[in-house]
C-alpha cells in the first residue's frame, strides 16, 4: 500500500466525469488499498478516485456503524429519502466548510473489488458521504451546493450548537 497525493480544488481531474471500471484486477485492488491508506491517514469520511488523480468510478466511504471503509465500484444511488442540512468539507478543499442539504437516507448499488454487485444503505453522515463521493465521480463537488464558505468562527458556533442538541 502507498499514500497517494490528494489533489485540490482547481485541478482539472476534479471536474471530469469518471469512466466505469470494467476490469477487476490487481491494479484495481492496489488502487483501493492505496485509497484506504490515504483516507485513513487524512482522517476523512470518504475518498473518490479522481481525488487521487484517477478518473475511474471508484470511491470509499466510512460506514459510521461499523467504522470500516465501504469500497464502491461503479456506484449509483438507487433511492433516497428525507432531508438533512449539515456541515460539509472535502479533503480536496482543505480547511474549508459549508452547509449542504442532502438526503437523510440513501441506498446505493455498487460492485465490490471482485465485480460482485451489492446494495448498501446509509443515514446521516454515511448518506451524506455516499452523495458527496458519487458526485466526485461525475465531476462535481460540494462547493457547487454552498452559497459561501463558512468562517472559522461560524464553524465553531455550528459545532457547539450541534453538541448542545
Distance between CA 35 and CA 163 in Å, rounded?
Answer: 31
DSSP per residue, 141-165: -GGGG-SSPPPHHHHHHHHHHHHH-
Catalytic annotation, pick one of 133, 135, 153, 161: 133
Is residue 5 assigned to a domain? no
Q: Tens of pLDDT along 116-156?
A: 999 999 999 999 999 999 999 999 999 999 989 999 999 99
Is residue 157 assigned to a domain? yes
**Which pLDDT band holds residue 66 (cuts at 50, 70, 90)?**
confident
Total number of domains in the chain: 1
Is residue 26 assigned to a domain? yes
**Which pLDDT band holds residue 52 (cuts at 50, 70, 90)?**
very high
Strand partners, 46: 61
pLDDT reported for residue 93: 96
133 catalytic? Reply is yes
pLDDT reported for residue 63: 83
Q: Tens of pLDDT along 67-111?
A: 889 999 999 999 999 999 999 999 999 999 999 999 999 999 999
- Cell numbers placing 16: 471530469
Contact 56, 23 (CB under 8 A): no
Domain that holds residue 65: 12-164
Is residue 93 assigned to a domain? yes
132: domain CATH number?
Answer: 3.90.45.10
Q: Tens of pLDDT along 21-33?
A: 999 999 999 999 9
Q: Is the pLDDT of residue 50 over 90?
A: yes
Is residue 113 assigned to a domain? yes
Is residue 4 assigned to a domain? no
Stated pTM of the model? 0.93
Amino acid at each position: 500500500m502507498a499514500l497517494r497525493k490528494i489533489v485540490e480544488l482547481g485541478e482539472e481531474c476534479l471536474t471530469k466525469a469518471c469512466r466505469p471500471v470494467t476490469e477487476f484486477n490487481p491494479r484495481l485492488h492496489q488502487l483501493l488499498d492505496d485509497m484506504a491508506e490515504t483516507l485513513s491517514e487524512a482522517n476523512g469520511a470518504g475518498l473518490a478516485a479522481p481525488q487521487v488523480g484517477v478518473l475511474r468510478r471508484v470511491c470509499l466511504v466510512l460506514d459510521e456503524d461499523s467504522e470500516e471503509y465501504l469500497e464502491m465500484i461503479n456506484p449509483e444511488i438507487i433511492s433516497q429519502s428525507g432531508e438533512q442540512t449539515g456541515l460539509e468539507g472535502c479533503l480536496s478543499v482543505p480547511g474549508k466548510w459549508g452547509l449542504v442539504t442532502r438526503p437523510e437516507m440513501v441506498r446505493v448499488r455498487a460492485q465490490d473489488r471482485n465485480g460482485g454487485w451489492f446494495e448498501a444503505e446509509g443515514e446521516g453522515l454515511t448518506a451524506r458521504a455516499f452523495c458527496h463521493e458519487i458526485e466526485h465521480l461525475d465531476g462535481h463537488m460540494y462547493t457547487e451546493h454552498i452559497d459561501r464558505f463558512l468562517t472559522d468562527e461560524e464553524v465553531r458556533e455550528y459545532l457547539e450548537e450541534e453538541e448542545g442538541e
